[in-house]
Chain A
């Protein structure tokens, strides 16, 4: 009974805290997005790509080419959205 009231919850807490910190993805930037163009990476304010499963794309000039948008400065995580091309100018 004692194990259920003290040891077990403690073990669950420790186990969960350890696992949580081991799996956190801290790379994504909540403030900015990163657009990869031919001339380099354009840093823009967070875009709202809406809910979806299609990679988000954005234009940096009116009528220009759409470029892929990334969530992290390491350009590892593509931003996901509904597939609409967003304007980032």
Chain B
């Protein structure tokens, strides 16, 4: 009996599973970290007050609360098995918006009035753009792997039955 193909498939699946585990941990960590620091840091309202888009204080306050809550909800969606794929799509959307904003800032702003905390605060707009593009690629690849993994388990179940 030849088990070669089965071994390769199992090995591939293990690699996919490890990759997906790392990605899930990373995205949940990043989004929760980002969301909580924004919620807890009072100066995040200042960031919105200083942007050219919004000048009204009430609007800035709304943005300063809505954005971190969206990040936390996305992390929660990724954390739950049933909503994982939707969560990853949300993450892709968030990183696309951030990347677009980074491009806009690179063109229009002279420097870095960063609302970010932790290690991200050290980034320039260009580095922040690369960081967001990297995250975008990782999130998209995670969706792809998640789809493949689901298909693998579905096929396996069919073979067993």
Q: Is the beta-carbon distance between A51 and B50 smaller than 8 angstroms?
A: yes
Q: Are A24 and B29 CB-contacts (below 8 A) given A46-B49, A51-B52?
A: no
Q: List chain B residues, Cβ under 8 A from A42.
A: none
Interface residue range, chain B:
35 or more
Q: Which residue of A lies closest to B57 (CB)?
A: A46
Q: Which residue of A lies closest to B46 (CB)?
A: A30
Interface residue range, chain A:
20 to 34
Q: Is the beta-carbon distance between A4 and B113 smaller than 8 angstroms?
A: no
List residues of chain B with CB under 8 Å of any chain A CB: 17, 20-21, 24-26, 28-33, 36-37, 40-43, 45-46, 49-52, 55, 75, 78-81, 105, 108-113, 117-118
List residues of chain A with CB under 8 Å of any chain B CB: 3-5, 8-13, 15-17, 19-21, 23-26, 28-30, 46, 48-54, 71, 80-82
Q: Besides A20-B32, A81-B50, 6 other CB < 8 A contacts? A: A9-B80, A10-B79, A12-B25, A21-B36, A53-B110, A80-B112
